[in-house]
Structure 1
Amino acid sequence: MSRFALRTGVRWKISIAIAAVGALVAAALSIVVHNEARVSMLDNAREVHMDRLLLAQLQYESTPKAREPRLRFGAKINDPLLPRQLDRLMQKGRRGTFVQEHAAGGSPDVWAAVPLANGDVLSLHMPFADRSAAIMKSLDRTLIIGSVSVVFGGCALGVLIGGQLSRRLRKAAAAAGKVAQGNTEVRVRDAIGGVVRDETDELARAIDALTDALNERIEAERRVTADIAHELRTPVTGLLTAAELLPPGRPSELVRDRAQAMRTLVEDVLEVARLDSASERAELQEIALGEFVERRVRVLNPDAVVNVVHESWVSTDPRRLERILGNLLANAAKHGRGPVEVTVEGRVVRVRDNGPGFPEELLREGPSRFRTGSKDRAGKGHGLGLTIATGQARVLGARLTFRNAAPDGGAIAVLWLPDHAPTNTGSFPVLRDV
């Protein structure tokens, strides 16, 4: 069962992570600063209220008894609204302050109370100063602006850092893609460049080391294959010559047929080894593609139907193009059913048969040598035909694709010739499937 996957870049992942961390830190610091500022301002208000209350007490106690005492700052004697916490403190003969919060919100009340010598309680309470509340609002607004600035600044920093890392990774991926296409001279470490060294350099060195190891192994296998095929060429040629001297008869025909098949196999193996070495170069000529294909198909497979939809002049190697056509037609004849149809449309050549189609392994992985996709391999070849055709197409700078026709069935091989001829360095243009 396939799972949903959200695709995003490293740049945005780093940006989101930095922004999230910045937001959490800014929120935590804002809460701490807000609470500390509020506590500090309330403590200051409590001290101010107590100082005022002590002055009011001093004036109250110094007023002669014959005169009516005047209470300053709005102080009261035995205020019925005195909080229970202060009331219990007064009963112990101690003075104190208290901050009374309101359930409905708003500014709290700051109380101060002192016990008098006659047993009365002198108290003073006022709302938290409007000026202090305005200062707290201004502080909160500043904290919010600062937190938002930190989040956006962290996001911008994440985009900058993540963008640099993302560019290096994209360069490494592009260089690795060129290596996968056969350009073994590309080095991922040189492609990413840069002065700062990080994990991408370790990845690049690992890819370069892996590429060198694979190239050495492939080159060793290619040399072994070429050497074996080359050594077999002489005895096989001698065997074929000797088979021609045998007296006529069915046994002689079988010997000559098998000797010829062995010679063809040796030549195909040598050709594959040369193609694997990437040393082959095309000998270019200007040809009319439709006319060329029509003439060659009449020789290679007279029963095939050729349809030239649109003629086009191309610069290519006629010998290699004929080799590709021959292998595609031979594959259609061996593994498919007639009629075989060849269509030329501009620079595109399609070869279709009406057989069971290409095996899934070939469509998924591409042609593989010594694998025909047929359960019965007797008389079905050695699986080198499509491998050679793909290699020759690569030398031409072309692309050879395979698919099965639906719903009628049948195998379709499509040769996409490039808009421009391949260079003498072996670089190929990029072709788009249409």
Structure 2
Amino acid sequence: MGLRSKLGLIFLLVSSLAILVLCVAVYTQAESSRLDRTRGLADERIKAAADTYNLNEVEVLGSQLDDPAVPDQLLEAVREGKRATFKTGSPNPKMWAAVGVKGGKVLSIVQDYDNEDASMRALRRALIIGGIGTVAMVALVSVVAAGSLSRRIVAVAGSARRIAGGDLDASAVETIGKRDGKVGSRNKDEVHALATAIDSMASSLRGQLEAERRFTADVAHDLRTPVTGLLTAAELLPPSRPSELVRDRAKVLRGLVEDLLEIARFDSGVEQADLEHIGLGAFVASAVGRLRMQQAIAPDSVVVRLTGTDATVSTDSRRVERILANLIVNGLRHGRPPIEVTVQGRTVEVVDHGSGYPEELIAEGPRRFRSGMAERGAGHGLGLTIAAGHAKVLGAELTFGAAPTGGALARLVLPPSPETDS
């Protein structure tokens, strides 16, 4: 049950209970007033009858002396010198009135008391009709009010989802303002407070991400020059095992700096794809061949398979090659060969035979400086992050999962072009 239904039901139950209590109170008060009027009338009749009897000893107004049917409670009150009235209960209620007269006798009168008086029936009918009508009207108003509140909360939730999806410029306050048709309104309630808190959180998050981006870019730029100098100096060292280690670590450090600069460019949002038409299957085969030469990879460590007809796509070949290189190197580093690269239409799948991607990476995607499970090896965790960044620039879909035969599966789906759609 949604919030709208819950609020509507609560409003309906509370209003129904309040109306029921009010109707019962009105009917009870009306019945009490009717009883009081009947008592007053009976009291006036017995008083007039007693005055007449005390003067003329004549029974008038239907009065009777020493009636044996007089209730005991009434007789007891008369014996105490009181003029009293008494109503008997169902099934045949009657209103009695009695008083002591001369000679020590008891003069009494009795009249029927109709519980189903016409005026009470009319009042009961009016209360029932009015109560049902009021409940129906309250139900309608509560549904409308709850619906309005629910829609405003849903609008705020939508803005929160947009912010969670990366749209940090989304404003929950503006969203509910537009929904209410009161942009800039000063009418601030709890929903407005919630929207303001979400906007404040988004603003703070935006500031933190911007600070992180600037820090990454500044560190990478500041390190680039000394690392280049370090690598140049390492190349001048005389041949020896220590020199080889220094050159190797300097190259790793330069690669890390270049990766950080690339990530900084992704964060800045200035990267754009340089589109060209390529045959995807042939291009992947040549890109893997170049990677084998650059990384000195054994031919049987990476296998390329083309399924179906080679598709022509409009994409940025440099970025596609960068994505493939990062996925294959990641598989060789953290998984086990052979790495199987399968091309089918606009889809490229890279599968290794290792222990597979960690569950959090499959669920949340790659994050910088998180290399995954310890058994998949060490690293800075930037390769998959960079691959995801290039895929985003291309408008492609890059997902990570588990291969049916075991191991890690990365699937790259390139966007269609007008030529491939026709």
TM-score of the superposed pair, with normalisation by structure 2: 0.82
Letter in 2 for 1:99: K
Over aligned residues, Cα RMSD in angstroms? 3.2
Letter in 1 for 2:230: L
For the 8 Å contact 2:220–2:258, the answer to whether it is kept is yes
2:192 and 2:103 mapped to 1: Cα distance? 86
Letter in 2 for 1:153: M
Q: Which residue of 2 aligns with 1:108?
A: 93
Q: Which residue of 2 aligns with 1:394?
A: 392
> CA separation of 1:184/1:279 partners in 2, compared to 1, >3 Å: closer, same or farther?
farther
1:273 has 2:264 as partner: yes
Letter in 2 for 1:234: T
Query: Which of 217, 224, 228 lines up with 1:233 in the alignment?
Result: 224
1:150 has 2:134 as partner: yes
1:18 and 1:28 mapped to 2: Cα distance? 15
5 Å-filtered alignment, 1:27-426, equals 27-54=20-47, 72-73=61-62, 75-102=63-90, 108-129=93-114, 132=117, 134-193=118-177, 194=182, 195=185, 196-246=187-237, 248=239, 250-300=241-291, 303-308=302-307, 314-375=313-374, 380-405=378-403, 408-418=405-415
For the 8 Å contact 2:335–2:376, the answer to whether it is kept is no
For the 8 Å contact 2:223–2:257, the answer to whether it is kept is yes
Residue 315 of structure 1 and its aligned partner are, at CA, apart by: 4.1
For the 8 Å contact 1:298–1:304, the answer to whether it is kept is no
Residue 42 of structure 1 and its aligned partner are, at CA, apart by: 1.0
> CA separation of 1:23/1:125 partners in 2, compared to 1, >3 Å: closer, same or farther?
same
> CA separation of 1:244/1:142 partners in 2, compared to 1, >3 Å: closer, same or farther?
same
For the 8 Å contact 2:53–2:101, the answer to whether it is kept is no
Residue 47 of structure 1 and its aligned partner are, at CA, apart by: 2.2
> CA separation of 1:55/1:410 partners in 2, compared to 1, >3 Å: closer, same or farther?
same
> CA separation of 1:149/1:185 partners in 2, compared to 1, >3 Å: closer, same or farther?
same
Query: Which of 4, 15, 20 lines up with 2:8 in the alignment?
Result: 15
Q: Which moved further from structure 2: 323-332 or 162-171?
A: 162-171
1:349-407 deviations in whole A, cap 9, x for unaligned?
Answer: 432222111224433543222221243797x432111111122222223343323346x
Q: Which moved further from structure 2: 265-274 or 288-297?
A: 288-297
> CA separation of 1:284/1:128 partners in 2, compared to 1, >3 Å: closer, same or farther?
farther
1:230 and 1:92 mapped to 2: Cα distance? 111
Q: Which residue of 2 aligns with 1:430?
A: none
Letter in 1 for 2:40: E
Letter in 1 for 2:84: G
Q: Which moved further from structure 2: 269-278 or 163-172?
A: 163-172
For the 8 Å contact 2:326–2:387, the answer to whether it is kept is yes
Q: Which structure dedicates a bigger proportion of its chain to helix? A: 2
> CA separation of 1:343/1:123 partners in 2, compared to 1, >3 Å: closer, same or farther?
farther
Determine which structure has greater relative contact order: mean sequence separation of CA pairs < 8 Å that are 6+ residues apart, divided by chain length. 1
Letter in 1 for 2:34: M
2:304 and 2:346 mapped to 1: Cα distance? 18
1:100 and 1:311 mapped to 2: Cα distance? 103
Unaligned runs of 5+ in 2: 293-298
> CA separation of 1:368/1:70 partners in 2, compared to 1, >3 Å: closer, same or farther?
same
1:176 and 1:287 mapped to 2: Cα distance? 40
1:99 and 1:185 mapped to 2: Cα distance? 78
For the 8 Å contact 2:259–2:382, the answer to whether it is kept is yes
Residue 39 of structure 1 and its aligned partner are, at CA, apart by: 0.4
Letter in 2 for 1:115: G
1:324-350 deviations in whole A, cap 9, x for unaligned?
Answer: 222112111111123333344555443
Residue 38 of structure 1 and its aligned partner are, at CA, apart by: 0.4
1:402 and 1:179 mapped to 2: Cα distance? 23
2:309 and 2:27 mapped to 1: Cα distance? 79
1:383 and 1:107 mapped to 2: Cα distance? 93
Q: Number of matched residues?
A: 403
1:31 and 1:420 mapped to 2: Cα distance? 74
